[in-house]
Structure 1
Amino acid sequence: MTQPVSRYPVPTLDSVPDDIRQKILEVQEKAGFVPNVFLTFAHRPDEFRAFFAYHEALLLRESGLSKGDKEMIIVATSGANRCLYCVVAHGALLRIYEKKPLLADQVAVNYLKADITPRQQAMLGFAMKVCNDSASIVDADFAALREHGFSDEDAWDIAGITALFGLSDRMANVTSMRPNDEFYLMGRVPKAGR
């Protein structure tokens, strides 16, 4: 039995606005499939545009955070938010960027037990505090990041990614967004021919 992508109607590609269709086709070309988040959010075109604009502004900008760092933040905080979609989808990206097939599972369950550096532990400690108790963030939290080479701009990025995925995790849970089957094995096993 095939499970639905979302509890809300998923539009067909020919029924979405041209700019959204183009974005979805670009992602499909690059990934080889359409991640279900694009189909789910296409249900509301204006929100699709706003979400992915902020997503790109945060995740594609140059910063003191690597692609792997950014995905690690997403996986750890999405694990805390119990978001299956984001843990599975971004876990795949984390495994690929870091070239560590076990890392995403470790980070999603308990980053304190994961095979990560002290710098990454400090980064995730800040992210988890933003995720679970942002009102308690104080100057000492920024100082702890600085001790590991993070700037205040990096702290903004950590907080922004955590906050955006707080929204994403909640919407994925409410919509019952299903992870694409393709994500589960990505970065776990070598590609054919390697």
Structure 2
Amino acid sequence: MVISWLRVPEEEELPEAVRALFQEFRERTGFVPNVARAFALSPRFPLWFRYYHALMREEGLLTREEREAMAIAISGENRCEYCVASHKRYLKDLTGDWRLSEVLAANPRRAELPPRMRALVDFALKVTHRHHEMTEEDLRPLREAGLSDEAILEAAEVAAMFNFTNRLLNALGIRPNPEYYP
């Protein structure tokens, strides 16, 4: 199976730090994500991964479910096959609800969401499509949903990370692992 339109390096040629990351993936999930295999071509891959991991997997001001919902909504809008597949799987694993993941990917505006998650998804969609039109008023729904300025910054980081990563994956033809599909 083709993983990327670029050369995917063999594991033996990678620096020890990257091979150690691959081993962590195997221990945690049973496989190495194709995005890691493809991004390993870059010497900046460990930096990108540490930031991604801190933003999406560690404790934050947003719940994991909220961050995953934002990731799916953004990735669906950007038509990023890899991120839609992987983050739908992550949200389903967190919630047990495939339907929520499917609706978020297909039409996030119609997803039935709690008010705080709705505010976050709507914010993420505006960052995705009309970031240049944003004003301070766009933060009001987030504040009304109880988010602090620090949590709003985290939401903006998630939105920016997925808009960046979606474009990178799409530009390089990186395909999702079969393990992401039910």
Q: TM-score, normalised by structure 1?
A: 0.89
**Structure 1, unpaired ranges of 5+:** 186-194
The residue matched to 1:125 in structure 2 has which SS? helix
Per-residue deviation, residues 61-84 of structure 1 (Å, max 9, x unmatched)? 433211111111111001111100
1:192 maps to none
Q: What fraction of aligned residue pairs are identical, expressed as a percent?
A: 35
2:95 maps to 98
Note the C-alpha offset of 1:60.
3.6
**Structure 2, unpaired ranges of 5+:** none
2:81 maps to 84
For residues 135 and 154 of structure 1, what CA distance do their matches in structure 2 show? 21
1:178 aligns with 2:178: no
1:67 aligns with 2:64: yes
AA matched with 1:92: R
1:151 maps to 148
Number of paired residues? 182
1:165 aligns with 2:162: yes
AA matched with 2:74: T
For residues 63 and 22 of structure 1, what CA distance do their matches in structure 2 show? 25
1:50 aligns with 2:47: yes
Superposed CA RMSD in Å reads: 1.2
1:39 aligns with 2:51: no
Note the C-alpha offset of 1:146.
1.0
Check the 8 A contact 1:142/1:152 in 2, yes or no: no
Per-residue deviation, residues 77-119 of structure 1 (Å, max 9, x unmatched)? 0111110000001110011112211111100111121132122
The residue matched to 1:102 in structure 2 has which SS? helix
For residues 64 and 57 of structure 1, what CA distance do their matches in structure 2 show? 12
Shift in CA distance, 104/48, structure 1 to aligned 2, threshold 3 Å: same
2:25 maps to 27
Note the C-alpha offset of 1:48.
0.6
